[in-house]
Amino acid sequence: MLNTISDEDLVKTIVKTNDTLLFEILYDRFSQMVYNKCLGFSKDEDEAKDLTQDVFLKLFVKLASFKGKSKFSTWLYAFTYNHCVNYVTRNTQKKIQREFIDIEIAETVEDGEFELYNFHDMKVEKLKKALELIAPEEKMILLLKYQDYLSIKEIEDVLSISESAVKMRLKRAKDKLINVYNNKLIDGESV
């Protein structure tokens, strides 16, 4: 019965009971996803293991902050990315800053403009290298949109930022990635 319970119901029950055995089921369902996302932000497997361990500990403590506005998996993607980005930028103090949003620019950016047309010709290995060369916050928002397929609305909810901020950040991250891909990498090597 526990194997068929939805993620959201499982989370509700864990929050109510603090049952560690139920949390183990949650770990079994999501550990591979979390581990692989952490690998994308770490330099080796040991670092990814440490990050995954921290993410699950923090998840247990903060599980009650999941309000069910989105699917649990969606929320967990953002939760994991946020932890990884904070870890990667811990020394540089490059935390996500509230940006001044140029409303005029933001309003001209329509959802349709985030289609994948610019990415279609990209090679996977070269794309991976380009993602390493942009800021972790930019990498996070691109992965949420293009790898995890979150809508603008879902990104607004999980990052707690406005629609125009989501659009602006996506546009900037995408422009930066395309620029790095086209100009800073030759045959996948940084120049």
Partner 1 sequence: MENPFKYIDKPLRPVPAELKAKVMSDVATAKLLMELANLFSIDVVKIIEATIAERKKKTN
- Residues near partner 1 (CB under 8 A): 18, 20, 23-24, 27, 31-32, 35-37, 39-40, 45, 49, 52-53, 56-57, 60-61, 116, 119-124, 127-128, 131, 142-143, 146-147
The minimum distance between CB 147 and partner 1, in angstroms, equals: 4
Is 116 within 8 Å of 178 (Cβ atoms)?
A: no
The minimum distance between CB 103 and partner 1, in angstroms, equals: 29
Q: Hunting for tokens 């692989």 — which residue is that?
A: 36
The minimum distance between CB 48 and partner 1, in angstroms, equals: 9
What does the alpha-carbon distance between residue 170 and residue 12 come to, in Å, rounded to a whole number?
Answer: 32
The minimum distance between CB 186 and partner 1, in angstroms, equals: 18
Report the residue number, 75 or 77, with the smaller CB distance to partner 1: 77
The minimum distance between CB 101 and partner 1, in angstroms, equals: 25
The minimum distance between CB 66 and partner 1, in angstroms, equals: 16
**Which own/partner contact pairs does 38-43 have at CB distance under 8 Å and 24+ positions apart?**
38/80, 38/84, 40/84, 40/131, 40/139, 40/143, 41/81, 41/84, 41/85, 41/87, 41/88, 41/136, 41/139, 42/84
What does the alpha-carbon distance between residue 41 and residue 26 come to, in Å, rounded to a whole number?
Answer: 22
Report the residue number, 38 or 166, with the smaller CB distance to partner 1: 38
Report the residue number, 122 or 165, with the smaller CB distance to partner 1: 122
7: its two tokens = 């993620």
Report the residue number, 60 or 71, with the smaller CB distance to partner 1: 60
Q: Is the dihedral of CA 123, 129, 133, 135 positive or negative?
A: positive
What does the alpha-carbon distance between residue 153 and residue 37 come to, in Å, rounded to a whole number?
Answer: 22
Report the residue number, 18 or 179, with the smaller CB distance to partner 1: 18
Report the residue number, 103 or 116, with the smaller CB distance to partner 1: 116
